[in-house]
Amino acid sequence: MTQSLKMRTEPLSLVFAALGGVVLLFIAAPLISMFLNCSLPELAETAGDSEVQSSIWLTLWTSMAATLIFAPMAIAFSYLLARKDFPLKGLITGIIDLPIVIPHSAAGIALLGVLSRNAILGKAAGRMGFSFVGSNAGIMAAMAFVSIPYLINSARDGFLAVDERLEKAALNLGASPLRVFLTISIPLAWRSILSGLILMWARGMSEFGAVLIIAYHPMIAPVLIYERFGAFGLKYARPVAVLFISVCLAFFIILRLLAKGKVNAQR
Amino acid sequence: MLSVKNISKSLGDLAIKDVSFEVQEGWYFVLLGASGVGKSVLLETIAGLSRPDAGRVFLDEKDITGERIQKRNIGFVFQNSTLFPHMTVYDNIAYPLRCKKLKNRRIHKRVAELAEDFEVTSLLKRRPQTLSGGECQRVSLARAVAREPRCLLLDEPISSLDVKARPQMRALLRKINARGRAIVHVTHDYTEAVSLGTHIAVMECGRIAQIGTAKEVFQQPKSEFVARFVGIRNFFKGQLEKSDEQRTRRFSTDGLSFSVLSDSGSGPGYIMVRSEDVTIGNAASQTSARNNFEGTISDIVPAGAGVEVIVDIGVEVAAMITSESVKLLDLHCGKKVWVSFKASAVKYIEG
């Protein structure tokens, strides 16, 4: 009986599975081989290297700070995009996606145009006593520039999925629009917003090109990996890469677990 | 108190044209019309959820046409639940109270009162997703009333409920209204209108065809549309008597007593008999009809394909018969005749 109930597997599914396997291998193999090619003593030595430690730490906190600094603006903007119609909305949506499609070295050059000491923002920063070029502020700006579309798009999709009638019902109950936004829209779109925040953070953390142009020093981990590779070769770059990837992975897993717990608690 | 003046609004196929009406303190105002005539849009316009193309809305003599949603003190209960899914029932009911920035202790007390009133005390810790349709509706009402709105707009609050949950909801709505809160209730079901409404407006193709008390609208439909839509000329208010076990019950009104087939509880209500179900004879005859009355013909009016004969039996009863029968029975004004209709042709509605 069970035999006859079983659906026959489509040959096409098998072909697709095989194709998928190739892609999976293509992604996983280099990473696995990198981990396998790294000996524990090597890793331990690299982990003790203060230059490595400080670059990983710098990468983690600048990317997180960049995300948190831009989050309120990005979330407010994405709400506007989800709820309102305005002229040139299509163009504006396109502009938001630009950082995703332009080469990141070009993004760095463009950003340098407004952040360098004699450009508008650079001058303003100079008056406030800091500089973007070659500083943490510059790193954060470069990271935010390339990663902010991920947060905006994800949050906008989240807000779009919130039933507008719920917001209207809340207004009807006497809530101010800000209160509706904070107590209805944000909590209901929270899963998307959170995943957008994590995406933005991850994207910022992995940025290399734009940061390299604005701030070679202080050195973030991706730049350090590049420098070790250029100066000493693959063998010296690899442990740093492995260490950085491991730290990132650990953070993401923890965050995802926390996020999942939080979402479940809301149900 | 609430007055709507010359509201027009078109929205796709829907169009409301030049709608005006007024709702006074304590009224239960029912907007009755087929689905898709723009009743919901009209409510949304009053609540400020959508903007009219033309016309004005006044609340307590103040023009609120352009007022923001949150500034109008008008409660709105949507047709489908708009309970906040990420909050418990308690937090849902407390929401408007928190908007008023009340102290926690007062919020707690008020939510407890409302929960008691709307019979949702046992649900306070639940999430809206776990509630039945009737429970959702009661929580929505409690939440809307918590704000103490000047008037309450209800979009089909009963139709979506299953049949068992309806009487409780009707009783609840009557109770809210009896405490003096004006209600505007939109429905396509005339029995709801009769059962609840102190005033009824019949909507036809985006216009209001007739406004009046239930009695006026049902007994004297002003247009053919109203007559066809509410369709019932014989409409009497009275009292359903207690009975021991028989399913045939007595319904008394103005000194008359009708036989009614109903298993509703005794109490005040309405009966309706379609004029098509009433027969006329020159003498009392032995038939299965339980309601037989002698009376005098007060009017004979051609109506559509047939003739409407009005017989005064103490109250006026309309019978729709053919013109052949008028000739055959030699019916004329002032003639004494017998009217009869079956107890099963009588529709009883609690009210």
Residue B227: per-residue pLDDT: 67
Mean pLDDT across chain B, nearest whole number?
A: 88
Question: Nearest chain A Cα to B129, which residue?
Answer: A267
CA of B207 vs chain A CAs: smallest distance (Å): 26
Q: What is the pLDDT of residues B244-264, one digit of tens each?
A: 766 788 888 888 888 888 877
The Cα-based distances of B65 to B1, B50, B59 in angstroms read 14, 10, 9
A173 to chain B, any CB pair closer than 8 A? The answer is yes
CA of A187 vs chain B CAs: smallest distance (Å): 7
Residue listed under structure tokens 């070679």? A216
Q: Which of B84, B129, B148 to mutate to test the interface with A (most CBs of A within 10 A)?
A: B84
Residue A77 structure tokens: 């903007």
Alpha carbons A241 and A224: distance in angstroms, whole number:
9
Q: Parallel, antiparallel, or unpaired for β B248-253 and B74-77?
A: unpaired
CB atoms within 10 A of CB A265: 7
Residue B308: per-residue pLDDT: 85
Angle at A27 between CA A21 and CA A31, to 5 degrees: 130
B130 to chain A, any CB pair closer than 8 A? The answer is no
Low-confidence ranges of chain A (pLDDT < 50): 1-2, 265-267
B147 to chain A: which residues are within 8 Å by CB? 173-174
Residue A3: per-residue pLDDT: 53
Per-residue pLDDT, averaged over B26-31, amounts to 94
Per-residue pLDDT, averaged over B286-312, amounts to 85
A169 to chain B: which residues are within 8 Å by CB? 76, 78, 82, 84
ipTM of the complex: 0.82
Question: Nearest chain B Cα to A264, which residue?
Answer: B86
The H helix count followed by the E strand count for chain B is: 9, 20
B96 to chain A: which residues are within 8 Å by CB? 173-175
What is the strand order of the sheet B279-281 is part of? B279-281, B336-341, B291-303, B306-312, B316-321
pLDDT of residue B233 exceeding 90, the answer is no
pLDDT of residue B269 exceeding 80, the answer is yes
In total, the C-beta contacts within 8 angstroms joining chain A to chain B are 57
A187 to chain B, any CB pair closer than 8 A? The answer is yes
Residue A265: per-residue pLDDT: 46
Residue B296: per-residue pLDDT: 92
B96 to chain A, any CB pair closer than 8 A? The answer is yes
pLDDT of residue B224 exceeding 80, the answer is no
Per-residue pLDDT, averaged over B275-300, amounts to 87
Whether residue B73 and residue A174 make contact (CB cut-off 8 A), yes or no, is yes
Alpha carbons A185 and A193: distance in angstroms, whole number:
11
Residue B346: per-residue pLDDT: 87
Alpha carbons B321 and B216: distance in angstroms, whole number:
23
Residue B241: per-residue pLDDT: 86
Q: What is the pLDDT of residues B58-100, one digit of tens each?
A: 999 999 998 999 999 999 999 889 999 999 999 999 999 999 9
Residue B235: per-residue pLDDT: 80
Provide the whole-model pTM: 0.81
Q: Which of B41, B77, B93, B95 to mutate to test the interface with A (most CBs of A within 10 A)?
A: B95
Does residue A99 have a cis peptide bond before it, meaning omega lies within 30 degrees of 0? no
B99 to chain A: which residues are within 8 Å by CB? 173-176, 179
β-bridge partners, B267: B240
B86 to chain A, any CB pair closer than 8 A? The answer is yes
